[in-house]
Chain A
Amino acid sequence: MTDIRDSLMVGRSSDGRLVRRPLSPHLQVYRPQITSVLSIVNRATGIALCAGALLLVCWLVAAASGEAAYAGVSAFMRSPIGLLLLFGWTVSLWYHFCGGLRHLAWDVGFGLDLPQVHRSGWAVVIATAALTVLTWIVAIVLM
């Protein structure tokens, strides 16, 4: 124990030994549920979008720097790795967008009953898939 707050986490096991109580959340013992999984994905896509923001800055700097830099970034984005990154960015963007709208609705008090939470969760998953496919259809048509 190095922190006084740890004293609240100490308990006794059935044979009387002093043990450290487990900390929640116990991801390893919970069955994945739509609520928890979507919450984790919202955070993961948020982190991914920070990497996407880096790509946005690269593109802006390349556009401001000149023809060679712009051609380089454009070529990278059309390479297999670039396309994979762009696809991941699109999925993350639409997921975090829809999930964010769901969070904003909760923040003003809408849709907090469990059946509604399950329904809005599946709606976010379906909307993410639909918007991603739509975005890439438009992208491929314009390409």
Chain B
Amino acid sequence: MSEPAKIHVMRSQLGRVRGLGAARSGTQHWRAERLTAVALVPLTLWFVYAALHLMGLPRAAAAQWAANPINAALLAALVISTFHHGALGLQVVIEDYIHVERTRLGLLLLVKGAAALLALIGLFAVLKLAFTG
């Protein structure tokens, strides 16, 4: 049997230990996308149930429903996971199709900023419904 070919790793020891690769974030994006997806499985089922339940109800009844701590917490969790997952997904779409550096960076900032802002708006609406109806 011949000697196995020696494998040269063109990477510093520190780089290998950190394991973060060329994007310098390692598997963080991939993991976050999956974790938010797992969280969204039960939250989506609950959301469809809730949406069907609330359909056609007057605002006061919807507000009363949203004032229940469990419903308020699940709504907040839904808003956070949805916008986190959505921003991660749109980021990949932009990175895949937009090759002009300036446009790409601009769109990435826009998507991240819009997702963060919309999530905050949604959260404050949930909190207002929960505390003052």
Using a CB–CB distance below 8 Å, which chain A residues touch chain B? Answer: 43, 46-47, 49-50, 53-54, 56-57, 60-61, 63-64, 66-67, 70-71, 93, 97, 100-101, 103-104, 107, 135, 138-139, 142-143
Contacts and interface: CB of A to CB of B under 8 A. Distances in A.
B126 A142 contact: no
A97 B37 CA distance: 9
Contacts of A67: 59
Contact of A61 (B40, B62, B121): B121
B93 A47 contact: yes
Contacts of A56: 78-79, 82, 122
A141 B89 CA distance: 35
B34 to A, nearest CB: 6
Contacts of A50: 86, 89-90
B10 interface: no
Contacts, number: 76
B41 A100 contact: yes
Contacts of B56: 142-143
Contacts of B79: 56-57, 60
Contact of A139 (B52, B83, B121, B129): B52
Contact of A60 (B38, B44, B48, B75): B75
B44 A97 contact: yes
8 contacts: A46-B90, A49-B82, A53-B86, A63-B129, A64-B129, A104-B38, A135-B52, A143-B55
Contacts of B55: 139, 142-143
A60 B118 contact: no
Given A46-B89, A47-B93, A57-B118, A104 B52 contact: no
A104 B124 CA distance: 31
Contacts of A139: 52, 55
A60 B90 contact: no
Contacts of B75: 60
B108 interface: no
Q: Which of A49, A56, A93 has the most CB of B within 10 A?
A: A56
B125 A100 contact: no
Given A46-B86, A60-B125, A64-B128, 4 more contacts: A49-B86, A56-B78, A56-B82, A64-B129
A54 B89 contact: no
A53 B52 contact: no
Interface string B32-71: 0010011011001000100010011001001100100000
